Amino acid sequence: MRQAILEAPRRLGWRELAPAQPQPGEVIVAVRVALTCGTDLKTYRRGHPKLAFGPFGHEASGDVIAVGEGVTAYAPGDPVMWVQTAPCERCECCRAGYENLCRHLTDDMALGAYADAIRLPRHVVRRNLFPKPVELSYIEAAFLEPFSCVVHGWRILSRTRAGTQGRRTTPAASEAPSPWEEHTVREEARRADLPAHVAIVGAGTIGLLHLTYARRAGVAATVFGRGSERLALAERLGANAAVELGGAEVPEPLRASCTAVFECAGTVEAWQTALSLAAPGGCVVFFSGLPEDTRVPLDAGRIHYEEIACVGSFHFTPDDVREARTWLVAGAVPARELISGVLPLSALEDAFANLEARRGYKYALVPDGAPAEWV
Ligand SMILES: [Zn+2]
Ligand SMILES: [Zn+2]
């Protein structure tokens, strides 16, 4: 099998590997599609504080080729979807309920989706591997990872209850609910903890996925981004307004109504803009990471005198992944709008060149020899 290796910033190599044999608890999957991701682009450009150079690519779906001893839920041929990590369940963060911050999160990840096949480690198989329903395309299924991150961001926001002063929460269900009812009740309770209007800074894939979540959750969203094409897509996907970043001054009534702001552009300026947009008593969710050791000067007056909560959102928990899967299966994620092209795996470098030139949002890589079309 062939696997892409990131050897250094902007240096991509390929290596041939013998077909992997699964160890106990592991699953080997033939990759049917791997998606490019902002994190991969960052790693490609400059390396990543949490990821070493080597095999990369983590948003994918495919068909099981082989299962290790003890795996009974899957068999060769099964279409599956997964995310690249799972918590250890033992460290202090896991035990405290912060599974997304697991100290061993990056110890044994399912990285290397830009390849013919990928090995899913035992803990990923146990917590974060799922059957792919037939109604879900492989490309849609590969959105599981980015959408899990987005779901997590909203969970973080609902915890702050920004902009919900004086609103009643939905009472919990009394009878033991079915899993779907449970999901709905949980969702409604969470919605009661959500503001009426959010601002989203950044109109890339992640910004637009946040917009998707907002619209489905009944929350109005204003998107701030760059470029008329991106802003037009934001409007098509239901943004109340799509505003050019750095353009005209943001009108005060709009600013005053953005109780929560998602920062999804990944620059120092975007972090500062996000804080400037939050209404008094509001919240900023810093969703995108910045290069290691970045310091961001923030307006202390706004944080203190206007009680703006500043919170980070990182990665996802298995609960977020399950919820994201429910959304995907319900057809809530506009994958077709966000995939800018389907390319053979060997054109991986072209996909990154396009992304660096801000051409397109996300590319789907399919095995060489397979038709380069929606799968
Ligand atoms: Zn990703
Ligand atoms: Zn842990």
Q: What is the pLDDT of residue 78?
A: 98
Q: Mean pLDDT in the chain? A: 92
The rounded Å distance from CA 297 to ligand 1 centre is 27
The rounded Å distance from CA 98 to ligand 2 centre is 8
Q: How many Cβ atoms from other residues are within 10 Å of residue 168's Cβ?
A: 7
Ligand at shortest distance from the CA of 206? 1
The rounded Å distance from CA 89 to ligand 2 centre is 5
Q: What is the pLDDT of residue 85?
A: 98
The rounded Å distance from CA 5 to ligand 2 centre is 27
The rounded Å distance from CA 70 to ligand 2 centre is 23
φ and ψ at 75, to 5 degrees?
A: -140, 160
The rounded Å distance from CA 303 to ligand 2 centre is 32
The rounded Å distance from CA 320 to ligand 1 centre is 14
The rounded Å distance from CA 82 to ligand 2 centre is 19
Ligand at shortest distance from the CA of 57? 1
The rounded Å distance from CA 59 to ligand 1 centre is 6
Mean predicted confidence (pLDDT) in 197-209: 97
Q: How many Cβ atoms from other residues are within 10 Å of residue 154's Cβ?
A: 25
pLDDT in tens, 298-338: 999 999 999 999 999 999 999 999 999 999 999 999 999 99
pLDDT in tens, 75-95: 999 999 999 999 999 999 999
Domains of the chain: 2-142+339-366 (3.90.180.10), 149-312 (3.40.50.720)
The rounded Å distance from CA 97 to ligand 2 centre is 9
DSSP line for 22-58: PPTT-EEEEEEEEE--HHHHHHHHH-BTTB-SEE---
Place of tokens 């005060």: 252
Lowest mean pLDDT among 37-51, 62-76, 200-214: 37-51
Cα(328)–Cα(212) distance, integer angstroms: 11
DSSP line for 138-172: HHHHTTHHHHHHHHHHHHHHHHHTTT-TTPPPPPP
The pLDDT of residue 166 is above 70: no
Nearest residue to 75 (alpha-carbon basis) of 134, 27, 25:
27
The rounded Å distance from CA 101 to ligand 2 centre is 7
The rounded Å distance from CA 106 to ligand 2 centre is 10
pLDDT in tens, 255-307: 778 899 999 999 999 999 999 999 999 999 999 999 889 999 999 999 999 99
Ligand at shortest distance from the CA of 83? 1
Cα(375)–Cα(369) distance, integer angstroms: 13
The pLDDT of residue 167 is above 70: no
> In the chain, at which residue ranges do the beta strands (DSSP E only) sit?
2-8, 11-16, 27-35, 54-55, 59-67, 79-82, 117-120, 129-131, 197-201, 220-225, 241-244, 260-263, 283-286, 309-312, 339-344, 362-366
The rounded Å distance from CA 313 to ligand 2 centre is 17
Q: What is the pLDDT of residue 179?
A: 54
Mean predicted confidence (pLDDT) in 143-152: 98
Ligand at shortest distance from the CA of 315? 1
Ligand at shortest distance from the CA of 92? 2
Q: What is the pLDDT of residue 46?
A: 84
Instruction: Return the structure tokens found at 246.
Output: 């750095």
Cα(176)–Cα(181) distance, integer angstroms: 9
Nearest residue to 1 (alpha-carbon basis) of 82, 94, 119:
119
Q: How far is CA 146 from CA 21, 132, 209, 371, in A?
A: 28, 16, 8, 25
Ligand 1 is a single-atom ion; what residues have CB below 5 A from it? 37, 39, 59, 145-146
The rounded Å distance from CA 167 to ligand 1 centre is 35
The rounded Å distance from CA 142 to ligand 1 centre is 9
Instruction: Return the structure tokens found at 167.
Output: 């609103």
Nearest residue to 109 (alpha-carbon basis) of 155, 57, 63:
57
Ligand at shortest distance from the CA of 95? 2
Place of tokens 């390849």: 115
The end-to-end CA distance of the chain, in Å, is 21
The pLDDT of residue 191 is above 60: yes
The rounded Å distance from CA 3 to ligand 2 centre is 29
* DSSP secondary structure code for residue 132 in this structure: P
Cβ–Cβ < 8 Å for 154, 219: no
